[in-house]
Amino acid sequence: MEVMVVTPAGRLAGRRHDGVDHFLGIPYAAAPIGAFRLRSPMPTPNWTGILQADRIGPAAPQHLAGSQTWLNEPIINMDEDCLTLNVWAPVDARNAPVLVWFHGGATRNGHGGAAACDGFRLASEHGIVVVTVNYRLGPLGGLAHPDLIDPDTGFCANWGLQDKIASLRWVQETIAAFGGDPHKVTIAGQSSGAANVVLIAQNPCNRGLFRTVIAQSPPLFQPPMFVGLHDAGEYTEAVATSLGTTVAGLRDLDGSDLVRREAALLRDADFARRFPRPRTAPTLDGALVHAWPHEGVLADVPLLIGFTRDEAKFWYDLALPDGVKLSALSPPGPGEPFEAALVRLIALHYPFDPAPSPAAILAGYRAAMPEAGSDAIWLAIYSDLVFRAPVWRYAARHARRGSPVFFYDFAWPLAVTGGTPHAACVPFVFGTHRHPHFAAKVGADDATDALSQAMMAAWAAFVRDGAPATHDWPDFNPELPAGSSQAMALGRDGMLFGPLHGAARLAWWPAIGIIDGVD
C-alpha cells in the first residue's frame, strides 16, 4: 500500500510492505549536473505535489567489472543525477535509532540500492531506521584541482565525500518525518565507505551529525587509498589535457562521457605508465580533509570496527560458484622475485619512516606460517599490511583515548574461495545472504542464517545502545598482552570472543601492529 510523509522539501509517497515503510530514490541534494558538475552539493529544491519514492534511484556512472561484481549485481540504471538515498523505517516508528550506510567500491564503484545493503530486515526485525546513500564516484566524485574551486564553498576537491556529509545533514533535518531520531545516528560503511566514515568522524565540523561509528574493513593508509592535493591535481590536469580541454573545462563535459573517457585513459599504456592507479580517492585538501586517517583523531564516540580474515582474496583469489575467476591480480610468480614484489608493496602501502626490511618481513611470515606456500604468504602479507594491521592500530589508538571500541574478525569461509575475502561480511550484516546474487556464494543453510541473525542483532544493538547485544563482547583493551582475548570471531561456530587470529604476525610491522609502536 502507498504511504505518505511530509518532509521540509515536500511530500513523498512510498510503499508499505510487511511492517516496513520503504521510501526509495529520495533526492538529498540538487542534481550535480551542468553548472553544478564538479562542485559542492547544493540543497534539494522544494517540489510541489507528491514525489513518488517507490523505486531505487540511479547509480552514479561507473564501470563495474571483476571483483566488484561479486558484491554488486549488474546495474541497470546509471545517471549523473544520482544524489538520492533510500529509507526503510518500521511502521509507526517514533524516535527510532538510525543507521546511515555508505557503500564501498574504492570510491569508483557500487551504489546504495544494491541488494546486499537492502535495509528491510534490519528495519523489520530490529526496529531501526536504515538509510543507504548514493554519491558521486570516480572522476565525478574525485577529480581535484585549485582551478575547480567552488566559489560558494571554497572547496576544490572531495565532491563524493561532500555528498556523504550532505546526506547526513539531510538526515538531521528530515529523518524525524520517517520516525527516526536525528540524535541517534550511526554512520557506517564498508571498505572505501568505511574509510570515508572515518574521515567524516575525524573532522570536528561534522560533530553532531552522528553518535556512533561502524567501520568494516576500512583501508586507512595514504596513497593509493587517499591522495594529496598536488598529486590529485597532477592527475586532473593530465585527464583534462588528454581529453582536449582545460581543468575548468572538465565541468562542461557530460558526466557519463567523462567517466567513460577517463576509464579509457587508464587502459592506455602511456597514460597507465604515468598513472598506474586513478587519483580520484579522497584528497588531503587542507579544507575538508586535514589529516590522513592514520594520523587523525576520531570523535570521542563508540566504534565498532573489524575486518575479514582473508581480505586479500578479493583481489587475488575470488571466484564465482561456477569457477569463473573474478580477481584481476595474481601473487608474484616464478618470473617475479617475491622480495622485489614485496619491496614495491611496502613502498606503495606503508606510510611510516623508516620502512621495514622486506627480508625481515618475509622471514617473519615464513616462520609464522611454516606450512604455507608462497601464494598464501603473499595473501597474508597483503591482508595484514593493507587492512588488518592498520585497522588493529586504529582501534588501539581510539581505545587508548578512552572511547569504547568493539573489534570483530569476520571468518565465514566461502565455498569456492576457501577463505573470507574483503566484502564478504556485508550480506550478513543486512540479512541479504539468501538473495539470489549471494546464496550460492556464501551459503543458505541454518548456520548461515544463524550467523547473519546474530550479526544483525549485534549491529542493531550497537546502533541503538552504542554496544553490541552480547555480554560476551567486551570493549577492546590495547593494554592487554599479546595473545589476549580481544576480538569477536564471526564464523561457522557463530560468535566467539578470543585472541585475534594471526595477531603475532602484526608485530612484524613496526608502527602498525598493536604489539609495538601504537601511539
Residue 220 near residue 391, CB atoms below 8 Å: yes
475's grid cell: 570493549
Give yes or no for a contact between 186 and 275, defined as CB atoms under 8 angstroms apart: no
DSSP run (H or E) holding 409: strand 405-410
Neighbours of 505 (CB within 10 A): 22
Cell 592514520 maps to which residue?
A: 294
Please provide the distance, in angstroms rounded to a whole number, between the alpha carbons at the two ends of the chain: 55
Judge whether 61 and 80 are in contact, CB under 8 Å: yes
Hey, what amino acid is at 472?
A: D
> Among residues 451, 423, 454, which one has the least CA distance to residue 438?
423
Q: DSSP 3-state assignment of 99?
A: strand
Catalytic residue from among 67, 167, 191, 327: 191
Residues 59 and 7: beta-carbon distance below 8 Å: no
Residues 6+ apart with CB under 8 A from 232: 142, 143, 144, 145, 157, 279, 280, 283
List beta partners, residue 436: none
Cβ(461)–Cβ(467) below 8 Å: yes
Residue 442 near residue 335, CB atoms below 8 Å: no
Residue 173 phi, psi (nearest 5): -85, -25
Active site residue 330: no
User: Would you call the peptide bond into 224 cis, given omega within 30 degrees of 0 as the criterion?
Assistant: yes
403 touches 298 (CB < 8 A): yes
Cα–Cα distance for residue pair 133/131, rounded to 1 Å: 7
Contact 200, 187 (CB under 8 A): yes
Residues in CB range of 445: below 8 A, 6 or more apart: none
Q: CB neighbours (10 Å) of residue 146?
A: 12
Q: Are the C-beta atoms of residues 491 and 480 closer than 8 Å to each other?
A: no
Question: Are 238 and 139 in contact, with CB atoms under 8 Å apart?
Answer: no
Residue 38 CA from chain centroid, whole number: 22
Enzyme catalytic residues: 191
